[in-house]
Amino acid sequence: MNQFSQETCYKPGYYDKKRLNAAAWTDAYIKKWSKENADKKQEKEKPFIPYSICFSRQIGVGALEIADLLAEIIHYRVVDREILEHMAQDTNLAQKAIEFYDERYPGKMSELFSMLISEKTFIKSDYARQLVKTVIALANTEPTIFVGRGTHLILPRNIVLSIRLVSSKGYRIDRLASMLNIGKSEAETQLNITDIEQHAFFKTVYNKKATSYDEFDIVINRDHINVPFQAAQIIACAFEQKFGLKILK
């Protein structure tokens, strides 16, 4: 099996860059977590939840490309929709991540999950619970940039920089048509389908009919900030300022 994602039609988060597919990514990180836990088994550490960056986006605005550029600036890893879906649909994978964290900080993960269950009214379905566990486990094992799946609605607001990326429909159509070398009509059809799927996901999982802009620290309009690296720099600066970090030189 090819361990790199290759798409012939558009899926949210796709752009012209080879990436490890979700299965290869999770396999690599499970090996990494196992080694880290073995190395730190004798150490006594206080639990620390790293700050996270969560991207929410209209489909087709180029969020993953910006996230990858941001990762190069602040040295965080990127977890995209494909990885989140893969882990949320495989109870064994999410459970392994939780177990690694519990080995290091016994009982802390259960405490965090119980807190979120009481605070987040949307956590009702088995899928929502599994997604929440996946996001918590990933956020607590390593500093992370999340792209998609409403992660900004899951993690505690005080440890998250929440970003919303938007654009006109025309911008999204033009970008998708150019990226996949297809006509604008076909690009619009594909975007309409993914928009409907995204809307259905948020209605089913989070019981949300529409996006509320008070959920976000920053909203970036790609029509006006259309250079990906510029958007990444803006987000890095906001991240540094919000949490009092020193990451930019």
Provide the pLDDT for residue 1: 41
CA-CA distance, 77 to 64, in Å (whole number)? 12
Fold classification of 47-243 is: Rossmann fold (3.40.50)
Task: Report the mean per-residue pLDDT for the chain.
Answer: 84
Instruction: Kindly state the average pLDDT of the residues 168-186.
Output: 95
Q: Is the pLDDT of residue 240 over 90?
A: yes
Q: How would residue 60 be classed by pLDDT, with cut points 50, 70 and 90?
A: very high
What is the pLDDT, as a whole number, of residue 235?
97
How far is CA 63 from its chain centroid? 10
* pTM exceeding the 0.85 threshold for the entire prediction: no
Which residue do the tokens 């909203």 mark? 219
Residue 26, pLDDT score: 76
The Cα–Cα gap between 145 and 164 comes to 13
Give the C-alpha separation, 166 to 132, whole Å: 25
Domain boundaries, given as residue ranges, for the chain: 47-243
pLDDT in the model for residue 78: 95
